[in-house]
Homo-oligomer: A and B are copies of this chain.
Amino acid sequence: MLREWKLHLKLGLKRGDGAGPVYVQIAHGLIAEIRRGRLTPGEVLPGSREMAEELGVNRKTVIVAYDELIAQGWLVSRGTKGTFVSTKLPESRSKPNRAVLDNSKTRGEGPQFSRLAAALDVPVIFPKPGIVLLDDGTPDTRLFPAESFARAYRSAMSLAGKVGKLGYGDPRGSPVLRTAISRMLNMDRGLATTPERVCLTRGSQMAIYLASRILIRTGDAVVVDDLTYPPAREAFRAAGATILRAKVDEGGTDIDNLEKLCRRNRVRVVYLTPHHHFPTTVLLNPARRLRLLALSSQFGFTIIEDDYDHEFHFAHQPLLPLASFDPAILYIGSMSKLLSPSLRIGYISAPEKFIDRAAQEILLIDRQGDQITEEAVAELVDAGEVRRHANRALRVYSSRREKLAVTLRAELGDVVDFRMPDGGLAFWLTFETQAYLDRLEKNAVAFGLSFLPSRSFSGKEDGRRGIRMGFAGLDDQGIREAVRRMKAAIGG
């Protein structure tokens, strides 16, 4: 008759409890039996042949399993005497590891997570089959010059491979791309930066994150707009900042309001998107820009200028960034909107001392970026391919912008309220009555719609609400379908 532990072992194998190759399943099965105490220290195991027959497996498989357990110390071989359960086993591991196992049981915040991590709540949306995604301003990646990029990537890789340059490099990023970006910022955007003042990041988010880590101490006051880019606000909050909110109107950040905040608090950092305000798309007007610069020197706060989609401006020439007037400003840009988010290439231009600190942080966070991708992008920038692509894309987006405006007015004119964005890749939709918006959010899933929650931009229950609706990725048919579903959701 079969010993109990053998029975369990056989059943386990039959059920396929374990994962991986059979020898591992046998090894784990035996460990489980030892831990349960059904196989006891000092007990002899059947010979490999007998065991193989009983389990209905190849004998070699059993031998490998035994060898593994001997190597791991669970079993000991006494030569011809046979194989035994080790007598030097530590206390049974019936008690599970409290520290992390609990996480998989309890759903709520276990004590095992740091308060910091527990506090996070960053909204996220990404494409899912059958769902129409109202993104927050993502480019149409079908326009991305994939062929020329792949060519550039391939040549960069084989070159780097030959000279053994695929290893670890400068944490600030590939010097070639830092040079190309610094040149672009100086020529096209009026900055006076240098490759030593530029650090590459994995998207603009990492630049924001680095700034939050480097500038913020617990309790420092950071001003963001009352409607802002949630991942930025959350990054500052996670760094321990006290978040203050400046009002935003059609002229951008309300500078009178900002000045009030500065008089009441020692404001350390002001984060804003002056070019195309996120989410409302408005431009920070020139008079306010001048006052902002003045306030920053008067109150000594650091300005973080997030210029996430500088390139796409429809109304007139883009204004020069604030950073072109003050080298102390941390200027953040990205290739995500210009080329493709998948490349994960952003950058920050800042005083050299800041960049040196950023390099140290990067060594802790992810060591460096992908040098091959960086050098391939540099090649596209230097070859003018990026600029040509931007011009092509601008034309396409410009007509989609018109089309979306027309469609919204025609289909939802009495429901949604928006102003035509001068630049950027999204509309900011507000609603005649909250009831419409509530219905839209309530029925979104049912009608196959996905978008950032209307409250995420204020991050407050009672904050101003709206929907950020990207148009760059929507062709005619896409626009019609998106608006159709919105209408249905609001009506339903």
Contact = CB atoms under 8 A, between A and B. Distances in A.
Interface of A: 18-21, 24, 27-28, 31, 68, 71-74, 88-91, 93, 95-101, 103-104, 106-107, 110, 112-117, 120-122, 124, 126-127, 135, 138-142, 144, 146-147, 149-150, 153-154, 157-158, 160-162, 164-171, 186-193, 201-203, 205-206, 209, 213-217, 220, 231, 234-235, 238-239, 268-269, 286-287, 289-291, 293-294, 296-298, 300-303, 316-317, 319-320, 324-330, 340-344, 350-354, 357, 359-361, 363-373, 473
Nearest to A375: B342
A100 B289 contact: no
Contacts of A234: 363-364
Nearest to A101: B328
Given A138-B167, A164-B142, A90 B290 contact: yes
A73 B162 contact: no
A147 B158 CA distance: 7
B301 A99 contact: yes
A201 B366 contact: yes
A205 B88 contact: no
A117 B325 contact: no
A222 to B, nearest CB: 12
Given A24-B320, A126-B169, A366-B201, A186 B19 contact: yes
A420 to B, nearest CB: 19
Copies, count:
2
A483 B415 CA distance: 76
Nearest to A154: B150
A37 to B, nearest CB: 15
Contact of A95 (B100, B298, B372, B473): B298
Given A24-B190, A166-B141, A160 B206 contact: no
Given A104-B327, A153-B154, 13 more contacts: A21-B187, A24-B190, A73-B287, A91-B294, A100-B302, A100-B328, A104-B353, A106-B353, A114-B213, A114-B216, A114-B239, A341-B367, A344-B370
A150 B157 contact: yes
Contacts of A160: 141, 342
B74 A361 contact: no
A256 to B, nearest CB: 13
B319 A72 contact: yes
Contacts of A341: 166-168, 367
A81 B397 CA distance: 40
A38 B485 CA distance: 60
A369 B340 contact: no
Contacts of A115: 217
Q: Which 8 pairs, one residue from A and one from B, show the smallest C-beta to C-beta distance?
A: A141-B166, A103-B353, A73-B286, A90-B294, A98-B300, A202-B366, A97-B328, A99-B302
Given A192-B19, A320-B68, A164 B187 contact: no
Question: Among the interface residues A98, A141, A167, which one has the most CB atoms of the partner chain B within 10 A?
Answer: A167
A167 B98 contact: no
A93 B297 CA distance: 7
A161 B186 contact: no
Given A120-B360, A158-B150, A342-B372, A138 B24 contact: no
A302 B97 CA distance: 8
12 contacts: A20-B186, A20-B188, A73-B286, A91-B298, A110-B353, A114-B220, A115-B217, A135-B168, A142-B162, A150-B157, A205-B364, A209-B364
Nearest to A319: B71
A350 B100 contact: yes
Given A171-B124, A213-B114, A300-B98, A324 B24 contact: yes
A72 B289 contact: yes
